[in-house]
Chain A
Amino acid sequence: MRLEVKDLTKHFESTLVLDRINLEIREREFVGLLGPSGSGKTTLLRIFAGLVFPDSGQVLIDGRDALALPFEERQIGFVFQSYALFNHMSVFENVAFGLKVRSRRKRPTKREIEDRVRQLLKLVQLGELESRFPAQLSGGQRQRVALARALAIDPKVLLLDEPFGALDAKVRVELRRSLRDIHDATGLTTVFVTHDQEEALDLADRVAVMNQGCIEQIGTPTQIYEEPQTPFVFDFLGRTNSFDCVIENGHVRLGDKVLAVEPGTPDGPAVAFVRPHDIVLSRAGNAQPTDDARLEKPAVVRFVSALGQRAAVELLYERKLIEAETSREKLTELGLHVGDRCSISLRLPRIYAKADADRTSGAEGQRGMRLRVRRRPRAA
């Protein structure tokens, strides 16, 4: 089924939670709504479900106005964040609920219900637990029950609110895979909400990054990660170093290079965002020209930590902390230690207008906190 929202706006009291949202989700697509808490992603999902009504705008399911449809005609399966299992019913009864509440005319026979429930429990690998109660299940098992229960009514759309939020890391990855398998096997249109960028990028066909009631960017995981269109998206998807610069005539001078900025970026103060693994280190004064923008002044190594193949280097550049990430071999080759001076080059910087970058103040705050974590430099 195709889901579509047009100009969706929603206030809670006087707070604007969704600001003229436009989004189209194609048939059989797997879409992740990614954003920090308070970005409106859950509200958007609940509007799809019909649990919340928008102030204005349209919700279309296969081109039909969904806001006028009763729940049983929407054919939407919903998995709640805390699962909302019926505590007084067994696993079997939970899954059978959606079939048993149907009007006599549409209700399958007892036998058919049993077969369907068993088949679903098998699909989510819970076959042997059908007589247990929710209180006797682990978090992962409860999540599977919630999924089976949502699938029991043969939905055409599956909506999941933070489906893996309450689970530990290992179970999370496992369930991610099985959710993807179920999506592929059933041909559902699936939308899920998450604040975990790794989860969204790993699982979804397309990701919509949301912030403060708006969709900042929508695209495939690769597009989102490699071409973040707004500073917020860049910052939300991973660690970020920012360097001040100025755009003049559509070009920006960064270190020893002059780079063209994306058309549409206004002249004036700007920032260059660079990921830690795109900070290239070399020994000071040992400069070989590359394609990367080399900064004139040297940086000082403040902290080095090597874990497995990766090495994280914290540098001080013009009184600002810079996070770099490199391979362990490269670090050994450079022979960098705490207190050493080195020169840094910026690979693939993304230039945004300063005003836009300042708008992502929440993300700035997070970055500030990260820098404050380690105070005392340790030897490598």
Chain B
Amino acid sequence: MLAVKEIKFSAEALKKVDEIVARYPEGRQKSALLPLLHLAQAEFGWCSTEVMDYVASLLNINPIEVYEVASFYTMYHLKPSGKYVLEVCRTGPCCLVGAEKILSILERKLGVKEGEVTPDGLFSFKGVECLAACGYGPVLQIGPEYTFYENLTEESVDELLTQLKNKN
């Protein structure tokens, strides 16, 4: 068994926390919740209950206030996902230029269904709603940096997957 990693931000991340909380007026530190959840997800991979409780303690708010927010927004992962989550836009304008084809190509190439993780733990994919890049469709993004890949084709998807695999 792997030891459970202690849920605590690095000194650097804690500095960032202070910096973020200082953006809001006295007593309005709850405003930092969304930015801190992004920070926590980048640091710990996903928003487990422990992670959310930790964020609540940093902001001095009730854990339930964090749960209800984390579950409302689509960007917070409430369960572990692949190292690379390929999020393909599946909204109208992108579908006019072939987004659905890209989703089925990913399903075929990765051998998993939407939302599942490949056995090596590297990839999962999902369809997401309009990413404000409709003129460059089909598009996908990969967190936590949210790098964009535009005008996707079967070849460029192939290339991207190989490139990501080789990084590991």
Do these two chains interact?
no
Give the interface of B toward A (CB within 8 A): none
- The chain A residues found within 8 Å of chain B, CB to CB, are none
